Amino acid sequence: MQQWKTLSRKPVLQYGRYLTVEEHVVELPDGTLIDDWSWLVTPDFVNVIVIDESGMFPIFRQVKYAIDGTSLAPVGGYIEPGEDPLVAAKREVLEEIGYVADTWVALGEYACDANRGAGTAKLFLAINARHVAQPDSDDLEEQQLLHLTKAEVQQEL
């Protein structure tokens, strides 16, 4: 299989640090040109599944603007420009729940929208985490920190 080629990109909208809309000219492997391919640039982010020293999973029940109702979510947040994803994951865990962990496992990454951009998720597992500080999060959402067993997490999935 052959990759598409980006021949040019032009910013159409710059909306703060969280969103840029671009228009790309792309060439398909068969030579077809698409001169108006829309592309979204948003920050990459981390999500961290945390398992504490007692085997519990600290997880948020929260309200998010794009979701009608409450949802469960792991610790997560944007990666700062130039920041290593693991450093971002550790920072988010400390800021959001006040934990540090002994063992970190990278679980991979995925493109949120492989056709249109919209950032990449970097996933981590933090094992043997312990509470060391009060959370210092700047999140806007209303959140409730839960401590679920493995069985409860599996049931929620």
Q: How confident is the model at residue 139 (pLDDT cuts 50, 70, 90)?
A: low
Q: How confident is the model at residue 150 (pLDDT cuts 50, 70, 90)?
A: very high
The closest alpha carbon to 132, from 100, 104, 89, belongs to 100
pLDDT at 138 over 80: no
Task: Compute the mean pLDDT over every residue in the chain, rounded to the nearest whole number.
Answer: 93
State the architecture of 45-156 in CATH terms: Alpha-Beta Complex (3.90)
Q: Is the pTM of this model over 0.95?
A: no
Say if residues 100 and 129 touch (Cβ distance below 8 Å). yes
Q: Write the CB contacts of 27 (distance below 8 Å, at least 6 apart in sequence).
A: 4, 5, 7, 33, 34
**What stretch of H or E contains 152?**
helix 150-156
Tell whether the torsion through CA atoms of 148, 150, 152 and 157 is positive or negative: positive
Any idea where the domains of the chain sit in the sequence? 5-41, 45-156
How far apart are alpha carbons 118 and 113 in whole angstroms?
6
Structure tokens at 151: 């069985």
